[in-house]
Amino acid sequence: MELKKDSHAVSIDMLLIVHSEKQADPGAQPQRRAGLQSIGNGIRKWQKLEENDLYGNLAEKQLPQHSQVITSYDNQGTHLTVEVHPQDSMPQLLKRFSLAKRLQGDKNGNTRPRQPGGKDAHAYPWDRSSLKSMSLDLRQFEKLDTYASQVTVKSGLDELVNDLLQEAHSDLERVRAIWIWICHHIEYDIKAAQEKDRQAFKLTDILRTQKTNCDGYAGLFEKMCRIAGVQCMTVPGYSKGFGYQTGQSFSGEFDHAWNAVYLEGRWHLVDSTWGSGLVDTTTSKFTFLYNEFYFLTHPALFIEDHFPDNKNWQLLKPPQSLRQFENNMYHKSEFYNKGMLSAHPETSVIRTVNGKATITMESCAPTLFMFMLNGKQEHGLLSLRKNGMKLDIYPPTMGTHKLQIFAKGNSDIYSSVLEYTLKCNYVDLGVRLPAELHQPMGPSWFSEQMGILKPSHPDPIIHTSDGRCSITFSVEEGINVLASLHGDDDLITEETQRRYIFQLHREKRTELKVQLPRAGKFALKIFVKKRQEPGNYIFVFNYLLCCSNTKVTWPMFPESFGNWGQDNELLEPLSGVLPANRNVPFKLKLHGVAKALVKGQDTWPLTLNSEGYWEGSCSTAGCQEVYVMVLENANHNFYSYILKYKVNDQ
């Protein structure tokens, strides 16, 4: 039945008053009152209540010593309130019908929040429209967020809420102010959570210590919302949070709690525990790190790591089963915070095919990625796409491997956005990637952004049958380019890694001539630097050069010095090692020089022909090194070294 006293009355679905047969002994010890909350899987959890019960029942200190109130809830939110009291006394619950402005729920005076229905449900899967369950412009909260984060506790919870609401002028802003304060002031109590300390639930202790576990976060959020006059519920359930292992199943007692809040005629989901920070899995220490994602999260995203005891609180149509929750791909909050839209495969466990697994990700904007296989950036080829990336991974051994994918987004820090478990039952021994092969692979939007345009080889892998290749691209004005070659043996050292590449500039394009010292796979790294800016060169991307011809044994190019100009061009000789006792022709294009010569045992001048090339020849007899030298100013007698060749032993 429904009882109403006046316009401010409490609405109760059913009230059962039980009269005892015999009046209680006045000297008997009063029984402690508690609320019994069903959490949906046969496990019941006692919660100590203080001050006003969350649903408007009297506080313990306000009850006569001979009365006991028990409230029970089921999965659908139906609740039964029973009061046992002396036969001739007035039931305390009847006295409460016209009390408590704070117990007023909605505008009709209902204190029991409306259960979620069809109009609360969002479509599943996610439609990519928004990360939020309602339209929000976060800029509107900037002033409120700053204010709420700086409010301090002066006395009790009521005064704290009143202080927070000074700058809040709508239910949405009231909820936002409460959310911001909790996320910036309440620390996750790891010890209490591990010990399941019930004292961590008490609101007075939470305000005093400013520490609690997830139940305390949810209880505090609910209580503060109700003081503010906003309907709010605590929702228990399973979560893919601290300690979660990919692919694990859930059973037994629920491990987490969060909230549903009623705004603008619809239920919305928040998790202030996860909004406040994170726990380091290695040190088990909590760090405040605000996470906007868990404020009014779109239910189709919230279900990825929150499974409520009551499927109605998924706020989804259709709702997901527990098995689906366990098997669905877990996208961390950073996946969406960094602008990711989707990832394939959509399962957390991947089995390799012929020793290879391929992962693709789609993002709403160009984003930088990196990966780690078993904690190392090895055994994979990651190429950037305009809105996403593609990763081919080659586990080096059979068995189970952990793959982590990181994204940079708009910040300067890479964050882990996705984890896979790889099952490998075959290793392709022919796929051995250089350890120095860093990410990303091949030209992309990022290389364009760094000033490298229109590459001759858009694909990240280059195959060469004779061990040589030529790569060209345009370079923006004021950009210097540097390249180095890396293999997995001792043939290429730190001193010689740039000697197998010769860099030329023709018209507005840069050419990299590459000669491989042997057959195999090599990483060709590309770096850039603005000429006018100090600092080091910045890595942009690399190519994977592949040669299967075992007859390949190319020597290094000649060593170039600082006076070798950006626009100079070497036609011959390209080999850095010259034959002994030979007459070797030279042909170069040199800009801004008055004279040029080649110096060995003797000196041979070069002459400038009609096409603008300096030509001549040099004998290598009797010398171990040959130099190309230039005179930049005809009025000076000082020649500069620009190239150095070695001469084979006789």
Q: Which candidate in 214, 225, 547, 623 is catalytic? A: 214
Which is nearest to 215 in space by CA: 32, 332, 54, 41? 54
Strands (E) across 61-118 are located at 68-73, 79-85
Measured distance CA(370)–CA(366) in Å, rounded = 14
- DSSP code of residue 528: E
214 an active-site residue?
yes
- DSSP state for residue 149 in the 8-state scheme: H
C-alpha to C-alpha distance for 189 and 212, rounded to whole angstroms: 5
Q: Is 271 a catalytic residue?
A: yes
The answer to whether residue 489 is catalytic is no
Q: From CA 533, how far away is CA 351, in angstroms rounded?
A: 47
Q: Quick count: other Cβ atoms within 10 Å of Cβ 368? A: 18
Residue 386 burial class via C-beta count within 10 angstroms: exposed 0-12, middle 13-18, buried 19 and up: exposed
| Partner residues linked to 424 by β-bridges | 399
Q: Which residue has the tokens 């150095």?
A: 644
**Closest CA relative to residue 292, chosen from 334, 241, 234:** 334
Nearest-CA neighbor of 473 among 447, 441, 510, 444? 510
CA–CA distance, 445 with 151 (Å, rounded to integer): 45
Query: HSE (CB half, 13 Å, CA atoms) of 479?
Result: 22
Tokens for 366, please give them. 């160009």
Q: Is the dihedral of CA 312, 314, 320, 325 positive or negative?
A: negative
| Both tokens assigned to 443 | 């030209």
- The token pair at 613 is 């090339």
Instruction: Give dist(CA 520, CA 485) in Å, integer.
Output: 12
How far apart CA 323 and CA 235 sit, in angstroms, is: 19
Among 120, 215, 271, 309, which one carries the catalytic annotation? 271
Dump the DSSP string for 21-66.
Answer: SSPPPTTSPPPPP-EEEE-SSS-EEEE---SS-TTSPPPGGGS-TT
Three-state secondary-structure class, residue 628: strand
94: helix, strand or coil: helix
Residues with Cβ within 8 Å of residue 574, at least 6 apart in sequence: 502, 513, 515, 557, 558
Q: Distance between CA atoms of 201 and 217, rounded to whole angstroms?
A: 8
* Secondary structure letter of residue 468 according to DSSP: E
Measured between alpha carbons, how far is 40 from 163 in angstroms, rounded to an integer? Answer: 37
**Measured in Å, how far apart are the chain's first and last C-alpha atoms?**
111
Using alpha carbons only, give the angle 46, 51, 52 rounded to the nearest 5 degrees. Answer: 85
Q: How many CA atoms lie within 13 A of 128 on its CB side?
A: 7
The C-alpha atoms of residue 149 and residue 609 are separated, in whole angstroms, by 76
Instruction: Give per-residue burial for 87-113: e unless 16+ CB within 10 Å, then b.
Output: eeeebbbeebbeeeebbbbbeebebbb
Q: DSSP letters of 315-364?
A: -EESPPPHHHHHHB----HHHHHTTEEEEES-BSEEE-BTTBEEEEEEES
Are 650 and 622 spatial neighbours (Cβ–Cβ below 8 Å)?
A: no
- Does the N-terminal peptide bond of residue 573 adopt cis geometry, omega within 30 degrees of 0? yes
Active site residue ranges: 214, 256, 271
